[in-house]
Amino acid sequence: MKINIRHLELLEIFFHREKIEISEMKLLSNIQLKESLYLCAKCDTGSLQCLFSKNNYSQVKKLSLTQFVIGEEDVQVFKNSLNLENIKFSNLALEQIYISDLFCNGEDYNIKYIYFSNFCISESDLKFISKLKKTQKIIVNSLFSSIFN
């Protein structure tokens, strides 16, 4: 028996594995997600771009990324994620990219809560965060940067 699903809408995705393959990201990108996305796994650079390429995650309010590898391919991956309210980035491997590069500078994001842990933050990241108008709470744990030296 073969089943074809043309539209799948979920409130939340929680994906915790050692590694997420690009093919799995392509499958996840077809799901219409409404509320929360929690991804904890190592992946190849460009995985975020693959996941957000179809704009099915523009309504997501909570985003948690742990152990992700993020590279230049992921620039402005969150350009249409203006509804994000809560972001948690932990143990990220940033390859020639900064967190601020994932967002569009001219957009008005709805981000209220930020949690950053165990990765390198840049001066441009701090400037981006300072321009967020709706931020209520920022939690920082074990960040490192050359700007603090």
Amino acid, res. 76: Q
Polymer length of the chain: 149
Structure tokens at 117: 């842990």
Q: Domains, the chain, ranges and CATH?
A: 9-148 (3.80.10.10)
Average pLDDT, the chain: 86
State residue 106's pLDDT score: 85
- Mean pLDDT calculated for residue range 139-146: 80
Chain segment 36-68, per-residue pLDDT in tens: 888 888 888 888 998 888 877 888 999 999 998
Contacts of 127 (CB under 8 A, 6+ apart): 100
Give the C-alpha distances (Å, rounded to integers) separating 82 from 45, 58, 108, 117, 127.
Answer: 23, 7, 7, 22, 18
Query: Which DSSP state fits 25?
Result: H
Count the neighbouring beta carbons within 10 Å of the beta carbon of residue 88: 16
Helix (H) or strand (E) holding 131: helix 123-131
Structure tokens at 92: 């990220």
Residue 114, pLDDT > 90, answer: yes
State residue 34's pLDDT score: 78
